[in-house]
Structure 1
Amino acid sequence: MAARLRRVAACLTATLSATLLMFVLGVGIGPVPALGRALAPGGGVWPSAAGARLPHSQALRIPGLTGTAEVSFTSSGMASVQASNDHDLFLAQGYVTARNRLTQMDLERRLGEGRLAQLQGSSAVASDTFELRLGLERTARAEWAATAPGSPAGQALTAYAQGVNDRLAELHSTHEWPAIYGLTGVHPARWTPVDSMVVQEVLTQQLDFTTAPLDYSILQKSLGAADTARWFPVQPANAQQPYDPGPYHYLGTDPLAAANANAAAVPATSSAAPTTAAATTSTTTADAAAAAVSILSGTASLPDDLRHIHPDSNAWAVNGSALRGGVSLLAGDPHLQLSLPSYWYEVSLRSPGFDVTGASLPGMPAILLGHNAHISWSLTDVQNQSTLFYKERTSSSHPDEYFWRGAWRPLQKVHYTIPVRGASSVPLTVNLTVHGPIMTEKGQTTSVDWMGDIPSADLSALLSVNTASDWGGFTKALREWRAPTQNFVYADDQGHIGIIAPGYYPLVRSGKPWLPLSGTGESDISGTIPFAAVPKTYDPPGHVVATANQRPVGANYPYYIGTSQGFDPGYRADEIYGSLDGTTQDGSSGSAALQSSVTDSLARSIVPRLLSALDGTSLDARSRSVRTMLAGWNGSMDASSPAASVWWTFWGTYLSTVFQPWWDEAKVPVSLDPWNLDLGHAPGPLVEDLEQWTLHDPTNAAFASPGSTTPNAPAAMRAAFTKTVDSLTKQLGNDPADWTWGRLHQRKIPSLTGAAALGYGPFPAGGDPWTPNAADDGMVSDFGPSWRMTVTWTGPGQSTAKAIYPGGQSEDPASPWYQNLIPLWWDGRYLPLRTAAEQSRDGTSSGDVRWTLRPER
């Protein structure tokens, strides 16, 4: 019934989308202002209705092409591009992507370049200010300056930009602009290679930029250093399943290949050394906390996904005896903030130099996740600590200077003017130190040294991955990958599997990098982990490799890569390894089932302890029925399961029962960063602690409220169980059989505009943050699998690939391709992930739409 209701709702949405779009633009919702006079026929939004029409077979003249290119679309909207040379391939990719995702691409570059307010008005000034300080555009310009125009990356970026600009030229001619431009009168500027690099930088920020040292600073001020170290340790308290278990070898350090693009150059001369008093000025805990508050307030102005918070992605590969019906298998489902349109644009690319298919990032050439004729790959986030904060020494007697390595140095200043639609422009000056941009001068002047601000040749690496044919070529290509640090999961047509995690892992000379570091020089970055020593595994004897954002290495790994706060607690990895180890997988069908699994392995380990704690206690009739329900539960967080509601409510209550008294006594300011400080969000390290103590240390001192001397885990569990039953009775009624998880827990896929009418859901849904089919971000989850893919290799050059994502190929809400893939994704169904040759062959019989792109006369 629930599935049928979702299908009916989706059908109604498709039917009414044009009407809804007109309503939204007429009244203004979210960041989209009211349309006003632009609603008039003959201008404004009316021409954008062309975007709702499905394409038809035709020939098009495209400036910049050197030969003919062919583009085809399946009935579901999947695109395939074939060209006689690489230049035309990437030009056509840029053109086709812009035909379907121009607004999304423009919003992404505006976000990274600090120009959202030009389109959205004053509400976006805070976001623009933060991004201009952080410096994504400065980094992108440095990356482009370091890219040789004749290199493969330089040629691909130039051709892609030409294709986007060909689409912009068409729109200037036809005036059939996407609705938001007709509404605001602000049209997209020409696309440049720097814009593509900014789009990549935005994704890097989403995956790599954290505020962990600021949170640790606040925790240490509130809880004290001892409890912060015990409860938020470097190494996780619970058992982990690293995909690289060692043995490890310390191989020294490598220097960073380039300087932080947003750091001040060290001047040849500097001011005289300060007096002893000035040089030894110390930072108070209050000053550090004030700085943390200021920076965290800035991150609050960003979209939810622009600071890495949710550690949810899965990927695995199997071979040998672990696989039936093939020589190797790859499965990947990166988890991100869900949105309409999606992060991904599915496309296959074929030219003399490329034959690759998968998920592309709108705004960037090439394929980020997918397969070619011989290898397949997917990604999860390593989540090493890529963000360091520095306490800069400044003095009123040395204005516009900072103290570093024995001398006062001049701040480098970068000046901006933020254009604001409907209001005056806002001036902004960004100060840079040798570490990076100063993010605040409140309390303690604090700068950030973020690995995403170091120029790197990621696109060059990705292009080489797209054309690699074996593990050697794959890993050679990834030597150039710098940020974000990623687990690249691999399987090939020869039956080999592996994972490697390239990128910059910053190592400091001294100090605790999980706290703000001294900026006077002694705690600067000394280097990075050598490529030969990064986490990796290849053809392990167990025939299974898996990563689900768990810590990739064991406690004896000789390099620092971050604390327990940065990595997933490991329950998805436990479930994946538990499902794959010692079993034989039935190709893509088994992996698809595992990608859709809503089994919570933490529940399966903790619930027996809860049942044991309840033994011998006096329970009323309702509590007894709840206990019986839990005793027969398999740990699956199905939407129809009442036991799932009990488990989730119990675990949150149990966590609060144990830690809230300590939080209250310490007055932890959870409002400064609810995602990492508020117990309601179940901070990962505390979840790990509580699991470990419950199973192995039930008399840990934390179970006693402050001042008590009788710590006892079973007592805390019994108290939490009683509160759980009372709470669910009040929320869901007297009959526990009616306490289904779907009544508490839903999923939604919001529109990028923020307009609820243009999103999907919310609908009752299964899963939680720790199930393979993860559902994070609260009881109405908008975070989960953004792309699901399986590739089964059956022999040399032979594969069967399937994929799906929650959205559609078009960004136009009136298009049948706006959300047509969501019902398939929701139900765990897939579509063929076809190569260009397969689409060309199969499309002839299925009647695919075909464009012939020819050079302009």
Structure 2
Amino acid sequence: MKLVLKIVGGLIALLLIAALALGGWYLYQKQPVRSGTLALEKLTAPVSVRFDERGVPHIRAENQTDLYRALGYVHAQHRLFQMEMVRRLAKGELAEILGPKLVEVDTLFRTLGIRAHAKATVAKMDMATPANQALLAYLDGINQYQDTQRSPIEFDILGIPHQPFTPEDTIAVSGYLAYSFAAAFRTEPVMTFIRDKLGPDYLRTFDIEWNPQGVLTQPTTLSQRDWGSLNHIAQISQDAMALAGVPLFEGSNAWAISGKRTASGKPLLAGDPHIGFSTPSVWYEAHLSAPDFELYGNFQALSPFALLGHNMDFGWSLTMFQNDDVDLVAEKVNPENPQQVWHNGQWVNLTTRSETITVKGAPPVQLSLRRSPHGPIINDVFKDSLGDTPIAMWWAFLETENPTLQAFYELNRADTRDKAREAASKIHAPGLNVVWANAKGDIGWWAAAKLPQRPQGVNPTFILDASKGEAEKPGFYAFNFNPQEENPARGYIMSANHQPKPSSGVPVPGYYNLYDRAQRMDDVLSNPKVRWDTEAAQALQLDTSNGYSRRILQNLLPVMQSVVTDANEKAFMEPLTKWDGNYSTDSIAATLFSQMLYELSKAAMEDELGEVQFKNLLNTRAIDFALPLLVADPQSPWWDNTNTKAKESHFETVRIAWSNTLKHLQGLYGTSLLDWRWGAAHTVTHVHPLGRQKPLHLLFNVGPFAAPGGRETPNNLSGAMGPAPWAVSYGPSTRRVIDFADASRAVGINPVGQSGVLFDTHYADQAERYIAGEYVPQHLSEDNVQAYTKSRLRFKPAP
């Protein structure tokens, strides 16, 4: 019997060993190939790829077509699943692999028309241009990898079929990029609701001029069902990227300093675009080199051209312009024919197209999508919240030529200020601030976008009324009317998503960020005593202070001190009275302040807005602008709780908010203030799409890490306003600093790692260094590339 047990035990052990061996072999087969020789179809000459200590490829080719084909291959072997997810999100094809829960997200993106627009755009493209030849070579490299190598683990888990990547995918992804900037979906419905349902006294808190011209006026033409429909769309818009695990573009910092203010005597460029955190991160770094071209760039999935980049001679960074390039338009319907709307003095027919969403494990979903002269009707395909008034979406991305690929092809080669300006002029939507510098001493900033001309008196913050002609666009302003600067006398340029002041006087409405972050950066940059170098630039990128808390607390603390009478509660309030506004990980005041802001907003506004509208408001920048004005106005109608018979003052509402703040934090962290540190409540986890399902989060997600910084500090590690604990959802997607005295010594950092392949060495090897505020070299010179090469891969032409 003992012998039998030993034999059985041995067999079980052998089976376990075999299973582990098979599992190890399975995972090994999925890893990127970074050494050896591979044959690549259509190459005209060998290409070398040297991978450095972070897994960044340094690609050397004899011509640019071979260069981009190799880039596509190595990009795909590190990020193929990311490429697959972002194209499916943009084209409305996620339900095919993720099932019915993604149908609404697919419906939204089909309704936006990105897929149809991409198809029409590609049909008109001249594929013989150098930019499009580069695109085709890059996509061919991706497809060759997909056709010849093992699928990523995620493809096996989800059963994703292989489909070739096409130019339509690249154009569609650029549409997703434009959409992710569009705050109109979240902002315009709630602001219109406040104006039309609550009135000008409530609206005044948001610092928006009360102007009924060009917008829906009372009595409102929107029904309760219309508001339900718009609220639903706003929520889907907010959730779309989270469900798909695709980063959302949020904000950014960038600045360029002229040589007269730097320690080296040459311009210095710094930038850190703020984008949603995910695993893998949004950027893929690569160094491209050919006899007539060199660039160290940060690349987005399915784009062959770097959106951020530099070489020894020039470089640039981007911030989001935040201009309003989306208008929601309430159409006037013909009472005799519901398929007609009023446009330019007459009834015109709506056009209709049909699309089919394939759904994993369920029948296909048929869509009938209508379009007016102002754009796609966005609210009549969500049947559970169907409204009565068709709401059209005018979107600059759909209404402009928008040769963005050509723009970045040129920007990747813009070695003079004139070339950079010309490249920037070709960016129509989304609006981007291009901050540029070169080794010759020039610095420049161009707000790149096609700015629409709107009729006098129109405020696009609200839903527009088509029946009055206020939604019409006579045309666009010329690029030279856009906000811009070149070599200003003050010696620096700074862009931080704040509202610009164009010298041309052209109006630039938008959904701009709080000015506190920009003000903090400008205060530091304007100090004439600072001689700027790489270390000083890093310190500013990592700064965790701003003046927002002081703006609010100067009016809020006196009220709190008058209503808080309990000695124990006063002790809890003491950190706020001494706070310098720094969101360091050991700050207790940062935790108290952030929870109090949420409780104050909830106590003041949720009763008037309702739960859904209030949640949508918390996801907009409008709430940030409103709170300083609210606490400064004791007569604001928001202070009264409309659910009670009594009329509450700001004293009662502040007292309730403070009481709820303490109750919530004590319930989470106990009664010791020492346990209320910011780093305990404020953490970042880089979430993989599959990491949203337990227990896969243990494998795929990276983190959590205690996070410094906060909402609109220069180190903008943040998320939507809400109750503790706070999961950071976005922040610097990279931090770059280039001193053009020697651009080969540029530094940067990736929030997670270069690779999106699970168990790869470079899957998360930069995550801890990133959150600690460290930087790593971006090797550009041949000596440095040679010194830090860890492996070599060679592509040869296929026989």
| Common topology (TM > 0.5) | yes
Deviation at 1:361, TM superposition (A): 0.6
- Structure 1 residues 298-337: Cα deviation after superposition (integer angstroms, max 9, x where no partner): 5366224999987432111222453223421111111111
Query: Would you say 1:159 and 2:137 are equivalent positions?
Result: yes
* Conserved 8 A contact 1:390-1:516: yes
The residue aligned with 2:240 is 302
* Conserved 8 A contact 2:251-2:497: yes
Query: Would you say 1:75 and 2:43 are equivalent positions?
Result: no
2:194 to 195, 198, 219: 219
Query: Would you say 1:733 and 2:670 are equivalent positions?
Result: yes
- Structure 1 residues 552-606: Cα deviation after superposition (integer angstroms, max 9, x where no partner): 227x97333325xx11112211221122221414411112122122223212444
The correspondence of residues 576-655 of structure 1 with structure 2, limited to 5 A, is 576-582=521-527, 583-607=529-553, 620-626=566-572, 628-655=574-601
The residue aligned with 2:796 is 854
The correspondence of residues 82-231 of structure 1 with structure 2, limited to 5 A, is 82-171=60-149, 176-208=150-182, 210-211=184-185, 212-224=187-199, 226-231=200-205
Counterpart amino acid of 1:104? Q
Deviation at 1:608, TM superposition (A): 5.2
The correspondence of residues 300-449 of structure 1 with structure 2, limited to 5 A, is 302-304=240-242, 311-395=250-334, 397-398=336-337, 400-441=339-380, 442-449=387-394
Deviation at 1:700, TM superposition (A): 4.8
* Conserved 8 A contact 1:700-1:711: no
Matches of 1:571 and 1:191, distance apart in 2:
42
- Structure 1 residues 100-146: Cα deviation after superposition (integer angstroms, max 9, x where no partner): 11111011111111211221222222221111111112222233233
1:674 to 612, 615, 631: 615
Matches of 2:564 and 2:341, distance apart in 1:
66
- Structure 1 residues 23-52: Cα deviation after superposition (integer angstroms, max 9, x where no partner): xxxxxxxxxxxxxxxx99999x98752455
* Conserved 8 A contact 1:497-1:539: yes
The correspondence of residues 495-510 of structure 1 with structure 2, limited to 5 A, is 495-509=441-455
TM-score (norm 1): 0.81
Counterpart amino acid of 2:741? T
The residue aligned with 1:61 is 39
The residue aligned with 1:453 is 398
Matches of 2:564 and 2:54, distance apart in 1:
58
Counterpart amino acid of 1:302? A
SS in 2 for 1:61: strand
Deviation at 1:712, TM superposition (A): 8.3
Check 1:799–1:285 CA distance in 2 against 1; reply closer, same or farther (3 A cut). Answer: same
* Conserved 8 A contact 1:234-1:562: no
2:640 to 676, 695, 705: 705
* Conserved 8 A contact 1:391-1:517: yes
* Conserved 8 A contact 1:774-1:785: yes
Matches of 1:398 and 1:310, distance apart in 2:
41
Query: Would you say 1:803 and 2:748 are equivalent positions?
Result: yes
Deviation at 1:519, TM superposition (A): 3.3
Matches of 1:190 and 1:111, distance apart in 2:
16
Deviation at 1:74, TM superposition (A): 0.9
Matches of 2:318 and 2:531, distance apart in 1:
21
Deviation at 1:194, TM superposition (A): 1.5
* Conserved 8 A contact 1:51-1:812: no
Check 1:106–1:518 CA distance in 2 against 1; reply closer, same or farther (3 A cut). Answer: same
Matches of 2:361 and 2:166, distance apart in 1:
27
* Conserved 8 A contact 1:231-1:686: no
Counterpart amino acid of 1:852? R
Matches of 1:619 and 1:51, distance apart in 2:
67
Deviation at 1:68, TM superposition (A): 1.7
The residue aligned with 2:230 is 292
Matches of 1:605 and 1:404, distance apart in 2:
46
Matches of 1:183 and 1:287, distance apart in 2:
40
* Conserved 8 A contact 2:194-2:203: no
Query: Would you say 1:529 and 2:477 are equivalent positions?
Result: yes
The answer to which of 447-456 and 843-852 deviates more is: 843-852
Check 1:222–1:403 CA distance in 2 against 1; reply closer, same or farther (3 A cut). Answer: closer
Deviation at 1:713, TM superposition (A): 7.2
* Conserved 8 A contact 2:272-2:733: yes
Q: Which runs of 5+ in 1 are unaligned?
A: 1-38, 237-280
The residue aligned with 2:221 is 283
SS in 2 for 1:481: coil
Q: Percent identity?
A: 26
Counterpart amino acid of 2:755? S
Query: Would you say 1:517 and 2:464 are equivalent positions?
Result: yes
The correspondence of residues 229-308 of structure 1 with structure 2, limited to 5 A, is 229-234=203-208, 283-284=221-222, 286=224, 288-296=226-234, 298-299=236-237, 302-304=240-242
Matches of 2:453 and 2:647, distance apart in 1:
42
Deviation at 1:367, TM superposition (A): 0.9
Matches of 1:644 and 1:399, distance apart in 2:
54
SS in 2 for 1:440: coil
Counterpart amino acid of 2:198? L
Matches of 2:282 and 2:491, distance apart in 1:
32
Deviation at 1:295, TM superposition (A): 3.2
SS in 1 for 2:440: coil
Deviation at 1:512, TM superposition (A): 3.5
Q: Which runs of 5+ in 2 are unaligned?
A: 1-17, 211-218, 381-386, 721-725
Check 1:209–1:771 CA distance in 2 against 1; reply closer, same or farther (3 A cut). Answer: closer
Deviation at 1:711, TM superposition (A): 10
The residue aligned with 1:27 is none
Check 1:508–1:51 CA distance in 2 against 1; reply closer, same or farther (3 A cut). Answer: farther
The answer to which of 153-162 and 396-405 deviates more is: 396-405
Matches of 1:608 and 1:388, distance apart in 2:
37
Counterpart amino acid of 2:589? A
Matches of 1:314 and 1:615, distance apart in 2:
37
* Conserved 8 A contact 2:67-2:290: yes
Matches of 1:819 and 1:687, distance apart in 2:
33
The residue aligned with 2:718 is 776
- Structure 1 residues 400-441: Cα deviation after superposition (integer angstroms, max 9, x where no partner): 443423443333222222222222222222222222211123
Check 1:297–1:640 CA distance in 2 against 1; reply closer, same or farther (3 A cut). Answer: closer
* Conserved 8 A contact 1:329-1:793: yes
The residue aligned with 1:11 is none
Counterpart amino acid of 1:342? S
Check 1:572–1:51 CA distance in 2 against 1; reply closer, same or farther (3 A cut). Answer: farther
Matches of 1:606 and 1:760, distance apart in 2:
35
2:410 to 464, 468, 478: 464
Counterpart amino acid of 2:466? G
Query: Would you say 1:760 and 2:697 are equivalent positions?
Result: no
Check 1:734–1:121 CA distance in 2 against 1; reply closer, same or farther (3 A cut). Answer: closer
Matches of 2:62 and 2:475, distance apart in 1:
43
TM-score (norm 2): 0.86
* Conserved 8 A contact 1:804-1:830: yes
Matches of 2:792 and 2:180, distance apart in 1:
36
* Conserved 8 A contact 1:95-1:160: yes
Matches of 1:105 and 1:311, distance apart in 2:
20
Check 1:715–1:497 CA distance in 2 against 1; reply closer, same or farther (3 A cut). Answer: farther
Counterpart amino acid of 1:377? W
